[in-house]
Amino acid sequence: MSAPLLVDRPVEETEDSAKRRQIIEGARTIFRVLGFDAASMGEIAKAAGVSKGTLYVYFKDKDELFQAIVEKECAFQAEGVFDLDASDPDVAGTLTRMGNAFVKVLCVPERLHTFRTVFAIADRKPNVGRTFYETGPGIGIAKMRAYFDAQVAAGRLTVVDTEVAAAQFIESCHATMLKPMMFNFGPPPSLERIEHVVGIAVRTFMAAYGKK
């Protein structure tokens, strides 16, 4: 008798993970409306549609809950945006695709609410600031640095300090777009604006570090 055919099936969301996501979304709403200090676990439970008892099963306090939100918001930097193909000889094309994808994901109003809260409480809660950096900007810079190291080794780039080059390139991709949004000075950028700014960032980078 032949062995049964194994068929890949999508992993279904468990009740626990669904409830956790429900709580995080409720907490995100409360933190956005009231701010971190004014938010209470009772209000978070109400917004999430769960009892306080259920809330405490998943999170011991609002510090732990906000930490989970920070990790979720920064996870996109570890999930594809900075996964670059070092074997592709088209460095400018790779950087253009990455830059456009990064800014589109970064300049989402809902995400910036969390960023603002992190900045507001980082002095009092340095662990939150550390988590934000290590799971967000730190990962992005590290992956860009590794990509640049590979391109230098392949003879496609001439970069002396790949860490600084990585940080500068990332910053230049969202120049004139992220900070106005952070301070509620401007709306989310259009796709045309993103492509324009990222295009300048790529051309500037390649002019400085591209193999002559």
**pLDDT, tens digit, for every residue of 85-96?**
999 999 999 999
Domain limits, CATH 1.10.357.10, in the chain: 74-209
Which residues of the chain are under the pLDDT cut of 50?
A: 1-12
Mean pLDDT of the chain: 88
Q: Give the pLDDT score at 79.
A: 63
- Could you tell me where in the chain the CATH 1.10.10.60 domains are found? 15-60
Looking at residue 74, its pLDDT comes to 75
Residues recorded for the chain: 212
What pLDDT, on a 0 to 100 scale, did the predictor assign at position 111? 82
Can you give the pLDDT at residue 197?
A: 98
- Strand partners for 210: 157
- Alpha carbon of residue 38 to chain centroid: 26
Q: What is the pLDDT of residue 171?
A: 97
What is the pLDDT at residue 141?
Answer: 94
Whole-structure pTM value: 0.80
pLDDT attached to residue 9: 36
| CATH class of the region 74-209 | mainly alpha
pLDDT of residue 7: 37
Residue pair 62/104 in contact (Cβ under 8 Å)? The answer is: no
Tell me, what's the pLDDT at 112?
A: 87
Q: pLDDT tens for residues 138-152?
A: 999 999 999 999 999
Task: Count CA within 13 A, CB hemisphere, residue 132.
Answer: 19
**What is residue 77's predicted lDDT score, i.e. its pLDDT?**
59
The reported pLDDT for the residue numbered 211 is: 85
The string of DSSP codes covering 88-112 is: -S-HHHHHHHHHHHHHHHH--HHHH
15-60: CATH class: mainly alpha
